[in-house]
Amino acid sequence: MARRTFTRAELESFRDAVVPDLLPTKPGQRLRLLFVGINPGLWTAATSTHFAHPGNRFYPALLRAGVITRPIDPADGMDDAERDVLRERGIGITNVVHRATAKASELSDEELKAGGAELTALVARERPKVVAIAGITAYRAAFGLPKATPGRQPETLDDLWSGAELWVVPNPSGLNAHETVDTLAAAYRAVGEAAGII
């Protein structure tokens, strides 16, 4: 079956749309690992599926890392059964900023800071074991930490994050050209192990 395509005009019609968070919803499902994107791209908004652009390496890297155990191709969007593959493993997905743009560079520092506050409240409510923010630049802007480095963040931040371990991992966007599926997988494996998923 041919993959769905969108014209530029169709994609532009999704500018500023919001993609719902993917969080466990059934009894017995517990959020162990919360991945946090910067904000939805237009393809993600059009399909209402996180990290859905065909050039995004998120799901291939999760598979290679062992965080998920079967392939997921979200480019045409996912149905609830496919989303449950993630939920049942304790994986959730949200964004620092919820409005869709063509590029993350379109976001203002004020939006990122406001999104950081909203994310902190979400973590306090959902209490994941690990939070993995995908993108060091957005993390620095959202939380006013200009010297932060990738990887596990200082343990002194755990109390601010309701006891969750906080990690900054590479952004899987195809625009992040210096990362590969292998380097992404290594970072995602580390957070999967910390969350007890692997």
Distance, in Å, from the CA atom of 28 to the CA atom of 13, rounded to the nearest integer, reads 38
Comparing 159 with 86, the larger pLDDT belongs to 86
Domains of the chain: 25-194 (3.40.470.10)
Count other C-beta atoms under 10 Å from residue 64's C-beta.
Answer: 17
pLDDT computed for residue 157 by the predictor: 75
> 19: pLDDT confidence band, cut at 50, 70 and 90?
very high
For residues 185 and 64, is the Cβ–Cβ distance under 8 A? yes
Distance, in Å, from the CA atom of 175 to the CA atom of 99, rounded to the nearest integer, reads 19
Residue 166 phi/psi, 5-degree rounding, is -110, 125
Distance, in Å, from the CA atom of 117 to the CA atom of 107, rounded to the nearest integer, reads 15
pLDDT computed for residue 41 by the predictor: 96
pLDDT computed for residue 3 by the predictor: 61
Comparing 175 with 147, the larger pLDDT belongs to 147
> 1: pLDDT confidence band, cut at 50, 70 and 90?
low
Distance, in Å, from the CA atom of 120 to the CA atom of 111, rounded to the nearest integer, reads 14
Q: Residues 36-42: what's their mean pLDDT? A: 97
> 11: pLDDT confidence band, cut at 50, 70 and 90?
very high
Q: What's the pTM?
A: 0.94
Q: In which order are the strands placed within the sheet that holds 130-134?
A: 91-95, 33-37, 130-134, 165-169, 151-152
77 Cβ neighbours under 8 A, 6+ residues apart: 4, 47, 48, 49, 52
Alpha helices by DSSP H, listed for 23-79, are 42-47, 58-65
Percentage of residues of the chain with pLDDT beyond 90: 78
Helix axes 109-126 and 136-143, enclosed angle (nearest 10)? 90
Flag whether pLDDT at 2 surpasses 70: no
123 Cβ neighbours under 8 A, 6+ residues apart: 34, 131, 161, 162, 164
Q: Residues 119-136: what's their mean pLDDT? A: 95
pLDDT computed for residue 119 by the predictor: 96
